[in-house]
Chains A and B, each alone.
Chain A
C-alpha cells in the first residue's frame, strides 16, 4: 500500500493532455480536486472516479486513480453497483447538467433517495458544450441557442430544490472560480456519510460565457451571492452596507444588517431541513432586486447508508441460515435418489 502522506497533488495527475478548451472552468475544478485528494488520506488505489458523457465527464482520464468514463447519464448506477460491492472505496461521480439532470435524471433522484456513500460533482454550465451549444435543463427560459433560435420555452430545473425533493442527505453549491469555497465543500462532501451532491457553477467560456458572472465578478458578487457559514447569520453585500436575511411567516426577507434584531437573524444551520428548503428557493433570476444566490453547504443529514444496510442483511442471513453451502443449494428442499 502506498504511503498516502507523501502524496502530492501532482501524484493525482495522469500523463494525458487535458483537452478542455482554454479558459474552461473545468480546469479550476480539476485543480481543486487534485489538491484536496492527498488531504483525504486515502491511497490512490482506493479512489474511483466514474463519469458519464459530456465535457466534464472527461475528468477521470486526468485523475491517476481507478476510473471509468462511461455512457451518457449512467455514472450513478455504475457507481452504485461499484459501491455496493466495495464499500472500502472512495467513489466520486463526475457529471454535468445534461448528463445527470436530463438523460440521467432518473438515476440521480434514485441515488439520492437510496443514499449510498458516494460524492457527486455536478458541473453545471447551463449549456450542452460537447455537442456545441444547445440549451440544457438548467438553461434560463428564453435562452437563445442553436436548438432554440426563438428562445427556449423550457422551465429550468432548480438543482437544489430537486435534490432536497429527492431527500438528498447532503447538498452544496460551489463556483469554479471560488477555489477556497470549493475546497471546503469538497472536504465536507467527502466527510459526509451518504450521497453528497455538489453542484458546481462552471463557466463554459465558449458556448455560455458569463452565465455565472454575477456570482464570480468582483463588481457584483458581494451583492448577488450569499456565503453559507455554519452558525453565522446569512449576510451579503458590501462591507459598508451589509444586508441580512430573516424569516417571517415562512417567507424570506432582506434588510440592512443593523436594522434586524439579533434574535430575528437567520443563522445558518445545515441540519435544518426546513431552512434548507427555503435556501433552495433563493433561486430568482439575477437582477438588482433579487435575493442573493446561496453558496456553501445547504443541508446535511445523517441517515441510513444503503450499502451498509445491504451488508447488514447479508450478515443477518448468514447468522440465521449459516454460510450458504453449495451442495445444499443444488439439492434443494425436496430430492430423491435413484440407484
Chain B
C-alpha cells in the first residue's frame, strides 16, 4: 500500500566505515531534487576509525524531509537503518513508537553484540519487535556479497558497497528516483569502471529487493513541498559560508585571502575555498592558528579581504591578533564554527558556548561586531554581511556558526549575482595627503593600500592619536580613543536591518529569543503552539553585537522572555544586563541541538507557573 505522508525522518546509522554519511548525503540530494523541503544532521565520532563495531564508532546521518515546511532535522525517527548492533543500541531510543527498523542482521551476530558491549545471548531483534517496532530483517552484507559474486572484487571491496544496498532499499521505501545517485556514482567512479559497475549493481539490487520481497507493509510518498518559486540547491553551512565569502569579495572588488589551520568542524571551509582558485581565492594552510589570523591581517593590510576560520580552541589562540586587527582598524572576518567546549571538549558535537568569548574575549577595551548564522543556508547571507561590515566599517567581525549548521544541510533558494548588493570599501582620495586615523561621519577611517604614492604610513598595536596615527601615551588621548573606537562599533547598529519578530504575534505572553542554530527548533515549536492557540512568539537575533536598536522595544512587548541556548546561559545574561529584564534561561549542554518538543515543554511549564 502506498501511503502519502507530509514528512518523514530517516536515520542512517552504522559503523564509521559503513559509508553512512555518503548514503545520507545521497538520499538528501535526491530528496532535494525531488522538491522536498528538508534538513539534515550528520552525527559522527571524533575518531576517524573508532574501534570497529563499537557504540563509540557509530556514525549517523539524520534527514527530515517533507511536503511541508521543515526547520529541523526532526525529532523522533520514522525509519532507522541500523547496519550493526551498536547502531541499533545507540539510536533505538530515538525511534517513534511503531517506527521502522531496517536491520542488517549480519551486523547483529555474536561478534557484533560483543563489540557493542552486549551479552552475546541478547536477541536485539526480538526485543525490538516486542517493543512494538516494525523490524525489517535483511542480510545486507550477505546479499551484497552475492550480488557481486561475479564482479571479480574481493570480499572487502564487495562489502564496501553494502551502503548502496541500503540506499536503494530506502529509495524504494520512500518512492525516490535512483537516477541522481546513478549519476553521482558515474562521476565518482569515472576512472574505476569495476567499482562503478559494482556500486550501480548493488544500488539497483537494494531497490529491487524492496520491490520483490514483501517485507514492508507500506510504501511512502512525500510530495514536493510548496516552496517559494525560484531556483534551489541543497547546501551545507560550511559550503554556504565559503560561497558567501567569495560572493562578498567579488561584490567589493577585492581579492579573497583565506588562511586557516585544520580544525573540526571548520576545515570544510578551508577545503571548499582551496578548490576555488579560479575565483582568485588564495587559500593558505598556516603552521598554526596564530599564523592563520596573522596572515589574514597581512592580506588585509595589502588591500585584500582577509578571512580566517576556526573553532573555539583555535579562536582562543587567535585572540591577541584579533585585538591587533581591532586596534589597526582593518577589515578582517573571523569565523568560529563552534563545538562543544571547554578546551578540546567535544570536537564533533555542537554547542553555542563561545558567545562570551566572541563578545568579551580580548584584553583591553576591544568591542568587535558579532553576528550569527541561524541555519545552513543562512551562513551565506551572514558570511556576506560579515564581510560587508568588516569592509565598510573597517573592523574585524566575528561570525558565529556551529557544528550543527556547518555540517547540516537544507534547500537554498540561491540568489542571482546581480541581486547581491555592492560593498563599498572606504578608500582615501589618492590626490590628497593621507591621515590614517581621520574618520568619516560613521567614525570609519579610510583604507590606504601599499603602492599608493604619498600614502605611506605606519600602523601598530600601540595606542595612537588622531588623525596622524602617531604613538601617544597621553592619558586624555587614551580615554578619547577607547571611547571613539567603541562609538565606531556602536554606530554599526545604525547600518543594519531592524529586528523583526520571526513568527507569532508582535506582543503577548511569551517571547522566545534565540540566536544561531536554535532557529529551526524554536520556529517549529512556536508554529506548533500557535496552531494550538498558545500566545507565544519567536524573535531571532542575528546581530549579537551591537544589538539592533529596536530589540529592546520587542522585548518589552512581552510578559515573559525565554532564551533557549546550547550553553549554560550566555545571551540570557547579556539581555538581563543590558535591558534589566527577568529573562529566563533554557539551557541544553549535551552536544546536541534542541528538539522542538523540548522548547514547547519549557514554554508550557512557564505558562503553568
A is bound by B: yes
Contacts of B257 in A (CB 8 A): 81, 84-85
Distance, CA A316 to CA B300, complexed state (A): 25
Complex Cα spacing A21 to B279, Å: 50
Question: Which B267-318 residues have a C-beta within 8 angstroms of A?
Answer: 276-280, 282, 284, 286-288, 290-292, 294-304, 306
CB distance from B499 to the nearest CB of A (A): 27
Instruction: Collect the chain A residues with CB atoms within 8 Å of residue B328's CB.
Output: 68
Q: Could you tell me if B278 and A64 are in contact, using CB atoms closer than 8 angstroms?
A: no
Chain B residue with Cβ nearest A318: B278
- How far is A85 from B249 in the complex, measured between Cα atoms in Å? 14
Q: Using Cβ atoms and an 8 Å threshold, which residues of chain A touch B455?
A: 45
* Among listed B73-81, B223-231, B387-395, interface-contacting one: B223-231
B229–A66 touching, CB < 8 Å: no
Residue pair A332, B229 in contact (C-beta under 8 Å): no
Contact B303 A85 (CB under 8 A): yes
Chain B nearest CB, measured from A94 CB (Å)? 12
- Verify B461–A70 contact, CB threshold 8 A: yes
**Do residues B456 and A44 form an inter-chain contact, with CB atoms below 8 A?**
yes
- Does any Cβ of A come within 8 Å of B459's Cβ? yes
- The stretch of B142-150, B193-201, B340-348, B409-417 that contacts the partner chain: B409-417
Q: Let me know if B243 is at the binding interface, CB within 8 A.
A: yes
A107-B294, A110-B291 known; A334 vs B33 contact (CB < 8 Å): yes
Complex contacts, B227 vs chain A, CB 8 Å: 338
List B contacts of A66 (CB < 8 A): 450, 456-458
Q: Are A69 and B302 in contact (CB under 8 A)?
A: no
Q: Is A155 an interface residue (CB 8 A)?
A: no
Quick one: which of A288-339 are within 8 Å of B by CB? 310, 313-314, 316-318, 320-324, 326-327, 329-332, 334-339
Chain A residues with CB below 8 A from B235, complex form:
332
A220 at interface by CB-CB < 8 Å = no
How many residues of chain B are within 8 Å of chain A by beta carbon? Answer: 72
Please state if B232 and A89 are interface contacts (CB–CB under 8 Å).
no
The answer to whether A339 touches B302 (Cβ under 8 A) is no
A46 at the B interface (CB under 8 A) = yes
Interface of chain B residues 160 through 181 with chain A (CB within 8 A): 180
- Assess whether B516 is interfacial by the CB under 8 Å rule: no
Check B302–A334 contact: CB distance below 8 A. no
A122–B153 alpha-carbon span in the complex (Å)? 60
Residues from 54 to 73 in A contacting B, C-beta threshold 8 Å: 60-61, 63-71
Q: Give which listed residue, A81, A88, A313, A330, contacts B294 with CB less than 8 A.
A: A81
B471 touching A81, Cβ below 8 Å: no
Is A147 an interface residue, CB under 8 A from the partner? Answer: no
Residues of A78-127 contacting chain B, CB below 8 A = 78-86, 88-89, 106-107, 110
Interface residues in chain B, defined as those with a beta carbon under 8 Å from any beta carbon in chain A: 29, 32-33, 35, 180, 224, 227-235, 243, 246-247, 250, 255, 257, 259, 276-280, 282, 284, 286-288, 290-292, 294-304, 306, 320-321, 323-324, 328, 414-417, 420, 450-462, 470-471
Instruction: Show 22 residue pairs from A and B whose CB-CB distance is below 8 angstroms, ordered by the A residue.
Output: A44-B456, A45-B452, A48-B450, A76-B291, A77-B295, A79-B298, A81-B300, A84-B299, A85-B298, A89-B451, A106-B288, A107-B287, A107-B294, A317-B277, A321-B278, A324-B280, A326-B420, A330-B414, A332-B235, A335-B233, A336-B232, A338-B227
